[in-house]
Amino acid sequence: MSERIVGANPDLAALAAAVLQPGFVGTTPPAWVCRWLGEGLGSVVLFARNVVDHEQVAALTATLRAERPDVIVAIDEEAGDVTRLESARGSSRPGNFALGAVDDVDLTEEVARDLGAELAAVGVTLDYAPDADVNSNPANPVIGVRSFGADPALVARHTAAWVRGLQAGGVAACAKHFPGHGDTRVDSHHDLPRIGGDRARLDAVELAPFRAAVSAGVQAVMTGHLLVPALDPELPATLSSRILGGLLRDELGFHGVVVTDAVEMRAVADRYGFAGAAVRALAAGADAICVGGERATEADARELRDAVVAAVLAGELPEERLAEAAKRVGQLAAWSVAARADRPAGPRPGAGSAVGLAAARRALRVVADRPARLPLAGPAHVVEFAPPRNIAIGEETPWGIAAPLAGLVPGTTTARYAQDEVPADPAGGAAGRPLVLVVRDLHRHDWMRAAVGRALAARPDAVVVELGVPELVTGGLHVATHGATRAAAQAAAELLAGTR
């Protein structure tokens, strides 16, 4: 029945398609995506599954653009632990937390401009970044090193610098996750987080970076699937007209595109349904519906499009609101076309980022009882403790310092343990060698703390390298990288090997 309704209302169907940002499976655009681009679809989003290398992504986006020259091509590329363009190797740039540790806004702007030029060179026009969340809760399972830090003023100034840099590189920035995902212990991929605090607290902490992003001219803002009772006691931010209209539009003065976080995420889909969440988001003031991380077929996109059309015909979604959303998406597409025409020449695709490695080196922090213990006195045994990944980071991106350290110090060996794999003696195998213990967010994992404690009891001379948030500093020699990117790992390996 929905297909007959859509077929009888082609203009309405085109408007509905215009506000979708679907993903797809494959390293070339499937036929349905190409067909939909000719029928009104305005955007697509790329994930790690769509990326082989820079040349392939450039060919993919050229194919999309041959169908629709102003198509918005989005990607979730934070240039940190969350990377899609470099998912096979790890990011060649440090993430937000490392940049916040350095606290040089010129450096942050330079790193973001470098990334923007690289994304533009392969045909990406919208980046779901920067993460503007204030990581005020160290137990946060999904933000952590994706944030610039726990200080609202620091996060605000670096969010603005990142927006300026990325957009100077020719790619639209998208500050997320509005109104702020930092003060929670819940991952919205799995359930609905609740953000406490009164309005004064929200103004002073969560909202400060978003005000800075708007002032910096950010082109898009991504909503968070968050219940914020001080703003709306009933509806998650993505579905709340009070938050999207009253706060973001009216109070903060944002005039760009409001993009939802993925509508298949359980925080909203479990409560309102996959299509129901999309319709409610549009009615509340969202302009673009991100989908496809987990639901990436034509049937999924059709379900959303048909539900939007049906909601308009039923009077649940005003046609004027849908038309307004489609207009804003079109304005972002026009901005992107102009930015592509005006952008400076970018780096050679796949060349890596020299500025990224230099920044990662500056982000290293060493706490030592005897600084002379560096560099290591020969080939080491590296033990890496692997916590569960969250969906945002993904399972496909490599991490750890063992590989780059072995490249600098031949003979280095490694072991990696997940929670149920740690032996009674984690330091075993390191006899006569320097021992390096590699952790991610040690403070959040009881099993990891226990294992590291046993290893340090046996080998108090071991080096602890923290690739996550260094909330817990332990051991006589502690190195914090403020992120698990390839650049961070290389910088730490150089420090341990004494090659810097």
pLDDT at residue 390, rounded to an integer: 80
**Smallest Cα–Cα separation from 490: which of 395, 352, 360?**
360
Q: Give the C-alpha distances (Å, rounded to integers) separating 59 from 66, 122, 349, 416.
A: 11, 8, 12, 37
Q: Is residue 106 within 8 Å of residue 418, measured between CB atoms? A: no
Domain boundaries, the chain: 1-342, 364-497
The C-alpha atoms of residue 27 and residue 46 are separated, in whole angstroms, by 10
How confident is residue 1, by pLDDT bands cut at 50, 70 and 90? very low
Which CATH class name applies to 364-497? Answer: alpha beta
Q: What is the pTM of this model?
A: 0.95
Q: Can you give the length of the chain in residues?
A: 500
Say if residue 350's pLDDT is above 70: no
**Ordered strands of the 365-368 beta sheet:** 365-368, 477-480, 463-466, 435-439, 381-385, 413-417
261 catalytic? Reply is yes
Q: Tell me what the mean pLDDT of segment 402-422 comes to.
A: 95
Condensed to tens digits (0 to 9), the pLDDT of residues 99-140 reads: 999 999 999 999 999 999 999 999 999 999 999 999 999 998
Mean pLDDT of the chain: 93
Strand pairing category for 365-368 and 477-480? antiparallel
Condensed to tens digits (0 to 9), the pLDDT of residues 246-255 reads: 999 999 999 9
In CATH, 1-342 is 3.30.565.10 = no
Exposed, middle or buried, 215 (CB in 10 Å: 0-12/13-18/19+)?
middle
pLDDT at residue 330, rounded to an integer: 98
pLDDT at residue 396, rounded to an integer: 83
Among the listed residues 189, 381, 443, 478, the single catalytic one is: 189
ω before 179 within 30° of 0 (cis)? yes
Say if residue 191's pLDDT is above 80: no
Among the listed residues 81, 127, 183, 261, the single catalytic one is: 261
Condensed to tens digits (0 to 9), the pLDDT of residues 281-339 reads: 999 999 999 997 888 999 999 999 999 999 999 999 999 999 999 999 999 999 999 99
As a whole-number percent, the residues of the chain with pLDDT over 90 amount to 86
**Smallest Cα–Cα separation from 433: which of 411, 402, 404?**
411
**Other C-beta atoms within 10 Å of 203: how many?**
15
How confident is residue 11, by pLDDT bands cut at 50, 70 and 90? confident
Q: Please, which contacts does 236-241 make with residues 24 or more away whose CB atoms are closer than 8 Å? A: 236/192, 236/267, 236/268, 236/271, 237/178, 237/179, 238/263, 238/268, 238/277, 238/281, 238/284, 238/286, 239/268, 239/272, 239/277, 239/280, 239/281, 239/284, 240/284, 241/283, 241/284, 241/285
As a whole-number percent, the residues of the chain with pLDDT over 70 amount to 96
Q: Give the C-alpha distances (Å, rounded to integers) separating 86 from 28, 80, 97, 113, 282.
A: 17, 10, 18, 17, 32
Residue 270 in tokens:
């479990």
189 catalytic? Reply is yes
The angle formed by the CA atoms of residues 120, 121 and 125, to the nearest 5 degrees, is: 20
